[in-house]
């Protein structure tokens, strides 16, 4: 693991306020990918918010966060007004600052994906949708993927479904 990523992962609880600036200092999308691959989501949403706010956070990592690493942003996408607030009601009451950070993470991730403002970088991520021309897929896999894509399009905009091959 890179030293700069390890410093964030192994942070001291007293240094929690410094985490966003440590994330901001990461040099590229590979470091951000490595960070989120090792991140303990029980540590809150300050680091994920810093990652999705980072100018080098690429579309592949953003999609991976949305589909694979945490379902909070998907919950927010489905019902931006109330779903996350209801899901985290006790957290919102007990620790309003942490809840605001969580909401900022969800909003930033969903809005930036929707606006297509994440750059294409070195990372790759297969959402499991589209990409029907992938030569590694069998005909059966293409058929299943096409059906899954059509179903998902009823619930999600294409920008959330298109992989970064």
Q: Are residues 87 and 31 in the same domain?
A: yes
Q: Would you mind telling me the total number of residues written for the chain in this entry?
A: 165
Q: What SS3 class is residue 164?
A: strand
- Please tell me whether residues 84 and 134 are part of one structural domain: no
Task: Please indicate, yes or no, whether residues 99 and 161 belong to a single structural domain of this protein.
Answer: no
Burial class (CB in 10 A: 0-12, 13-18, 19+), 64: buried
- 104/140 same-domain check: no
Q: Reduced to 3 states, what is the DSSP secondary structure of residue 153?
A: coil
Do both 79 and 143 map to the same domain? no
Domain identity same for 10 and 28? yes
Q: How many domains does the chain have?
A: 2
Domain that holds residue 101: 3-125
Phi, psi (rounded to 5 degrees) for 164: -115, 90
Residues 76 and 135 in one domain: no
Among all chains, which residue has been given the structure tokens 């691959």? Answer: 37
Same domain, 97 and 131: no
pLDDT in tens, 104-153: 999 999 999 999 999 999 999 999 999 999 999 999 999 999 999 999 99
| Co-location of 91 and 11 in the same domain | yes
User: Do both 59 and 105 map to the same domain?
Assistant: yes
63 with 138, same domain? no
Looking at every residue in the chain, the average pLDDT score rounds to 93
- Assigned token pair, 155: 């619930």
pLDDT in tens, 89-111: 888 889 999 999 999 999 999 99
The secondary structure of residue 65, as a DSSP letter, is: I
Same-domain status, 70 and 139: no
Q: How far apart are CA 74 and CA 127, in angstroms?
A: 13
pTM for this model (two decimals): 0.92
């Amino acid at each position: 693991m890179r030293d700069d990523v390890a410093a964030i992962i192994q942070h001291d609880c007293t240094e929690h306020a410094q985490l966003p600036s440590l994330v901001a200092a990461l040099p590229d999308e590979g470091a951000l990918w490595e960070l989120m691959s090792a991140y303990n989501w029980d540590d809150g949403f300050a680091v994920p918010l810093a990652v999705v706010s980072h100018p080098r956070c690429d579309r592949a990592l953003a999609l991976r966060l949305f589909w694979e690493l945490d379902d909070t942003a998907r919950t927010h996408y489905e019902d931006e007004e109330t779903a996350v607030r209801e899901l985290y009601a006790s957290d919102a009451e007990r620790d309003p600052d942490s809840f605001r950070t969580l909401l900022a993470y969800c909003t930033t991730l969903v809005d930036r994906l929707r606006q297509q403002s994440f750059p294409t970088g070195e990372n790759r991520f297969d959402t499991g949708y589209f990409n029907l021309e992938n030569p590694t897929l069998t005909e059966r896999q293409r058929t299943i993927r096409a059906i899954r894509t059509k179903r998902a399009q009823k619930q999600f905009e294409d920008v959330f479904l298109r992989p970064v091959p």
